[in-house]
Structure 1
């Protein structure tokens, strides 16, 4: 088989909606974090590859898993992560969880309700946050807030890319019951502009995502590692900015990705706020609304 590396999309950690192993993170952690990112990005690109059939995609994902677990040395991203984890004495549990999500991407093209979407996020997004917390030696008591933040980030991405996912992959993460509730049709995602019904659905889902992000807001304060706390505060600021755009804009016809200057200003503001919060011992205010 062709090396999975050769099937990469070209997207790197610098192209994400959130910082990955940025300058904020302590240098001793960056190599491991980037090894994890490269493994996950490779698997994600396999699952999304437009020229591969489902069986071939699943074979590649199985191969990445096998080599992550020590059975083979042909896939650089798997071997690199395996070695990086071994150096730290960490198990591959979070990377294995993410592979479950990518297999779902290959075999599951529609989601019936919000709970199914959250179940997908349990494997696509939540393991990433848990991995970062484990790398920094944080308590598992931080996982609930991390899970909420990571799920919110994932659904933000689903809403931003809903048109592209439908056109390129026939994949729809919008819950079927949410579309039905407003009388919108899946096929409308192929249009250049959302219908009023589809826009109500998208913006309603953004409102639900905002609740998730509110549940994740205490995370930075729960984290003991100063640098990771700063990084999380920046990620939270990015996510909050994106969901605010999604609540009022149409992702089929309008920009729903912050500009570089907006990312820069969000970073500066979030870092300053988190430093001040830690200096004065204040806790962030979480969204009081319950998770739907």
Structure 2
């Protein structure tokens, strides 16, 4: 097997918790964004592959990095992204950062503290937002709020998929100290329903993540690009709704995702809210807290 594309899980941009290169984004940016997404999605699928050995996964990720940097042309996702970035004169730093996270996925199965999880998000999620901002020529001053949003999205996903990650990959992103403080155990993630201690832990982490997401509310106002601001507003609306669901539901017992009606409702709310905000020049309500130190 020489092509990483053969290792794809089948998951695509429509399966994410956020819109990827949506119609809101200007068409001139979509090809580059999709090239970045396909590179990241394929690398993620390599790290999560059910039958590849760890050293095989790392070898594929190393190959991706080499070809992204111009050393080889065998991996389509790396080559297409390399060329798309070159057309814009953009460096590959954000794509290189996400490869750090996927190597961590191969070699690190447990996280001791919230800060360790945030460090993982620094490479798994924050580069995605930074890439989007760079694509739109936004200032790096927007990175702090973007980092909070992207980390919040990632932790939402960790909580949504905590049972699946444990059963399929023996991977646990819930901090050990949070589990211990609640009296929960890693093994409980294999159950069909959370015992009270685990449910308390999951909902406490969701509440902490809600504070993190509050730090990102200024982002849509900080970006200059109107379309990007609207897209961010929609993503924030999705993230806020999911974290509210996680505060009251049990992800081991039920699928905590937005249905089609909710996706439509919160998309419209985000779009209308941001258009209205920009029309009157009002900044979003922000309630920053000491939730992370990325």
Same fold (TM over 0.5): yes
TM superposition shift of 1:290 = 2.5
User: Where does residue 114 of structure 2 map in the other structure?
Assistant: 114
Work out the number of aligned pairs and report it: 292
Residue-by-residue CA offset, 1:184-227 (whole Å, 9 max, x unaligned):
11000000000100000000000010011000010000000000
TM superposition shift of 1:287 = 1.8
- C-alpha distance in 2, partners of 1:59/1:287? 43
TM superposition shift of 1:240 = 0.3
Are 1:235 and 2:235 matched, yes or no? yes
Residue-by-residue CA offset, 1:104-130 (whole Å, 9 max, x unaligned):
000000000000000000000000000
TM superposition shift of 1:284 = 0.6
* Structure 1 segment 202-217 matched on structure 2, within 5 A: 202-217=202-217
Are 1:49 and 2:34 matched, yes or no? no
User: Where does residue 88 of structure 1 map in the other structure?
Assistant: 88
Are 1:66 and 2:66 matched, yes or no? yes
Contact 2:112–2:176, Cα closer than 8 Å, also in 1: yes
State the TM-score, normalized to the length of structure 2: 0.98
TM superposition shift of 1:260 = 1.1
Unaligned runs of 5+ in 1: none
Question: Per the alignment, in what secondary structure is the counterpart of residue 106 of structure 1?
Answer: helix
Are 1:276 and 2:272 matched, yes or no? no
Structure 1 runs (4+) deviating above 4 angstroms are none
- C-alpha distance in 1, partners of 2:289/2:109? 30
- C-alpha distance in 1, partners of 2:91/2:290? 33
- C-alpha distance in 1, partners of 2:291/2:168? 31
* Structure 1 segment 179-198 matched on structure 2, within 5 A: 179-198=179-198
- C-alpha distance in 1, partners of 2:288/2:82? 40
- C-alpha distance in 2, partners of 1:224/1:260? 30
* Structure 1 segment 77-226 matched on structure 2, within 5 A: 77-226=77-226
Question: Per the alignment, in what secondary structure is the counterpart of residue 25 of structure 1?
Answer: coil
Contact 2:46–2:61, Cα closer than 8 Å, also in 1: yes
State the TM-score, normalized to the length of structure 1: 0.99
User: Where does residue 267 of structure 2 map in the other structure?
Assistant: 267
User: Where does residue 37 of structure 1 map in the other structure?
Assistant: 37
- C-alpha distance in 2, partners of 1:119/1:101? 9
- C-alpha distance in 2, partners of 1:46/1:266? 32
- C-alpha distance in 2, partners of 1:20/1:288? 26
- C-alpha distance in 1, partners of 2:110/2:286? 31
- C-alpha distance in 1, partners of 2:95/2:255? 32
TM superposition shift of 1:255 = 2.8
- C-alpha distance in 2, partners of 1:255/1:34? 27
Residue-by-residue CA offset, 1:135-185 (whole Å, 9 max, x unaligned):
000000000000000000000000000000000000000000000001111
- C-alpha distance in 2, partners of 1:85/1:288? 34
Unaligned runs of 5+ in 2: none
- C-alpha distance in 2, partners of 1:17/1:269? 16
TM superposition shift of 1:15 = 1.1
TM superposition shift of 1:289 = 2.9
